[in-house]
Amino acid sequence: QVQLQQSGGELAKPGSSVKISCKASGYTFSNYYISWIKQTTGQGLEYTGYINTGSGGTNYNEKFKGKATLTVDKSSSTAFMQLSSLTPDDSAVYYCAREGAISFDYWGQGVMVTVSS
């Protein structure tokens, strides 16, 4: 069955970076994009961007350019999102989701990132 398994929660200091992962299984990894979504109580759901898992090409929401960097390791069917120059506003739950013929049909379980000194 399709699964997107995300890495564990992160506690990070302001100004630092974190890299979270999303490991796919149960389907052909390179046939689907992986998108990333930020969820907070205040702002709701925000689309960060996607990575073409076949070519490595990326597309970022303007709001997250310079904040998020999306990469992929095809050998392990894993997508990554690095968040840099962290501030408390980056504290959120981050989800990965598969995007293909049916957009956002499967989601990872989410990763809570907490930015605090």
Q: Which of 17, 59, 85, 116 binds other proteins (CB under 8 A)?
A: 59
Could you write out the three-class secondary structure of 19-66?
EEEEEEECCCHHHCEEEEEEEECCCEEEEEEEEECCCCCEEECHHHEC
Select the span of 12-20, 21-29, 43-51, 74-82 touching other proteins (CB under 8 A): 43-51
Select the span of 17-25, 60-68, 70-78, 82-90 touching other proteins (CB under 8 A): 60-68
Q: Which of 47, 52, 54, 73 binds other proteins (CB under 8 A)?
A: 47
Residue 110 interacts with other proteins (CB under 8 A)? yes
Chain center to CA of 57:
15
Which C-beta is closer to other proteins: that of 2 or that of 11? Answer: 2
Which C-beta is closer to other proteins: that of 15 or that of 26? Answer: 26
C-alpha closest to that of 12 among 89, 81, 113: 113
